[in-house]
Structure 1
Amino acid sequence: MKVRNLVFALTTLALAHHSYAANQGDKNLKGDVKLDGSSTVFPIAEAAAEEFQKLYPNVRVTVGLSGTGGGMKKFSNGEIDIANASRKMKPEEARKAQEGNIAYTEMPLAYDGISVVVHPANKWATKLTMAQLKALWQPGSTVKTWKDIDPAWPNEPIKLYGPGADSGTFDFFTEEVMGKARLSRNDYVASEDDNVLVTGVSKDKYALGYFGYAYYVENKRVLNVVPLAKGKDAVAPSDKSIEDGSYPLSRPLLIYVNDKSAQRPEAKAFVSFLLKNAATLSKEVGYIPLKEATYADILKKFK
């Protein structure tokens, strides 16, 4: 399912069961609000944009999809108001923002767990250790077949799918698995569009890939998720294991708001709307919301 179709279907479902935290919008409010960045955060941001514009029809909210790194570049150049991020801002990105006189505020939106997935016909990879995952994805890896991971597994080539180099998911995954960000083999199908990765793995019995939890949840009919073991026990991603951090690849999802942009009424109204509804939106699109008190505290500080 394409991202926009996913968002439409889930926000329609959300509206059937929830009322968004805004009774009516200011029909006279005008302007543009620009977001770009993480494909993982995209479903939340796009859903918020669609619902916000129903309340504020004269405000145009655009949400780009260039990966966390791509979004940060635009953010530091003052091209966008909000950067969607699936990792923390890097020191060099913060330095570029400072050089561009961009003051900003970091805000967490939800929790995610990067999910390692295989084809449903894969009945052998019922778990992987973090050491095995590292051996598979490290630069110069000699792992070419499933048998190279475990002698009992098929002697068939592994077709790998993963995020591109501009993705925050790529940065976080490599740092957690390899111990250093951006260390990875490069002989895999890379894309900043997670739907490309979903399609690739779902059509190849011997494929393996990784991406955000929401994309696994939406496509679990055509994918199997692989539990990961950091210690003795393997843990699968779930609402509980991601929230309590027992899943090895749990992480926060964030937005970075340009402080100058936030002074504009239309941008301030959108960020407030996003924070008020982040719990509902993140849950509906497959992520794990923060505590309500946390959202209230962030909103209070923002205002």
Structure 2
Amino acid sequence: MAETDPTDASDSMNRRRFLTATGAAATVGLAGCTSTDQGEGTGTEAGLSGEVVITGSSTVFPVSDTMAELFMEEHADVNVTVDSTGTGGGFENHFCPGNSDINGASRPITDSEVENCTGNDVEPVEFEIAADALTVAVNNEADWVDCMTFDELRQIWMGDGAEKWSDVRDDWPDEQIELFGPASTSGTYDYFNEHVLGEDTQHTTDHEPTEEDNLIVQGIQDSKYAMGYFGYAYYSENQDLVKAVEIKKGDDGECTPPSLDNAKDGSYPLARPLFIYANEESLQNEAVYEFTKFYLEKAESDRVKEIGYVPSSSDQVEENLSTLEDAVEN
């Protein structure tokens, strides 16, 4: 796998397609986790009102949820709902059908998803908003493993792969491996499958799948012989509960722990960019536009780092804002 600097703009930006749109977008409310009481706005846009619906990646969810809370503190008459549906699940079930304004994604949108969206007159506009260090974790008592190669991970997570730890290394315990991981609708699942297992290798179905990353943490914590993977933010807030595995890419590579610094400089093999996609028509709605602009500007802040991700660079923010303006001017 060729390493990519997660702070650079994704090549998938070239897949953006814009459609001249007029009028405000119709939004269908979802049962989101973030809401606010109606009241008089306190920010510079005191008269701003409306609704913004966000779906998608559980990895991006903490960022979107935080941005929603911060925005509603300034604009009490705007209701922003955030629903963790998984990247693929969000695109397929909510964003592409036109039922959400923004979809978080832990991997670039696929060509088939773009086709699905445009078939419904939804034109996705891509913004890279952070970088992540996808983290492989084991139980705190798993003292036999500190570092693993891509090949060893592949042996464990591929279909019909290793069943016991000793199947991977002879000196590891002769105990059944218990796997906890994302559901197949997750962008993290897709990323892991493509970059670790390989496009021609099928991900195992013999694992506990969930869109709730905290449940993955819980499963690993409760089983000495467990393993799972998730976004770094969920490891960051649970470092005392599970143990992160260092990753070595290739036999000659170095064992590198997941960290924000290692994700930023690209030395961590599982560093990846994170995205949000906005419906271009929704951006014609003032509330959606102002929230998206707020989100992109705040993506450079320490709040993103506190959540557990690498914030956008100033160059990335500038590029995102330029993309936003291009979208609303078309």
Match of 1:101 in 2: 121
Match of 1:203 in 2: 222
CA distance in 2, matches of 1:296, 1:204: 45
Higher helix fraction: Structure 1 or Structure 2?
A: 1
CA distance in 1, matches of 2:160, 2:187: 22
Q: 2:165 aligns with which of 142, 146, 164?
A: 146
Q: 1:24 offset after TM fit, Å? A: 2.4
Q: Is the 8 A contact 1:171 1:182 kept in 2?
A: no
Q: 1:292 aligns with which of 314, 318, 323?
A: 314
* 2:148 is the counterpart of 1:128: yes
C-alpha deviations, 1:154-203, integer Å up to 9, x for none? 11111110000110000000001111178211111110110110111011
Alignment of 1:58-97 (within 5 A): 58-73=77-92, 74-97=94-117
SS of residue paired to 1:220:
coil
Q: Is the 8 A contact 1:115 1:226 kept in 2?
A: yes
CA distance in 2, matches of 1:100, 1:217: 38
Task: Calculate the aligned-residue CA RMSD, in Å.
Answer: 1.7
Match of 2:184 in 1: 165
SS of residue paired to 1:234:
coil
Q: Is the 8 A contact 2:128 2:316 kept in 1?
A: no
5+ long unaligned stretches in structure 2: 1-31, 35-41, 326-330
Q: Which amino acid aligns with 1:56?
A: H
5+ long unaligned stretches in structure 1: 8-22
Q: Which amino acid aligns with 1:126?
A: D
CA distance in 2, matches of 1:224, 1:128: 13
Q: 2:304 aligns with which of 263, 282, 302?
A: 282
Number of residue pairs matched?
283
Cα 1:181–1:64 change in 2 (3 A) is: farther
CA distance in 2, matches of 1:138, 1:153: 19
Q: Is the 8 A contact 1:165 1:182 kept in 2?
A: no
**Identical residues among aligned pairs (%):** 37
TM-score with structure 1 length normalisation? 0.90
Cα 1:230–1:290 change in 2 (3 A) is: same
Q: 1:99 offset after TM fit, Å? A: 0.7
Q: Is the 8 A contact 1:77 1:100 kept in 2?
A: yes
C-alpha deviations, 1:39-61, integer Å up to 9, x for none? 00000000000110110000000
TM-score with structure 2 length normalisation? 0.83
Q: 2:278 aligns with which of 257, 268, 271?
A: 257
Q: 1:248 offset after TM fit, Å? A: 1.4
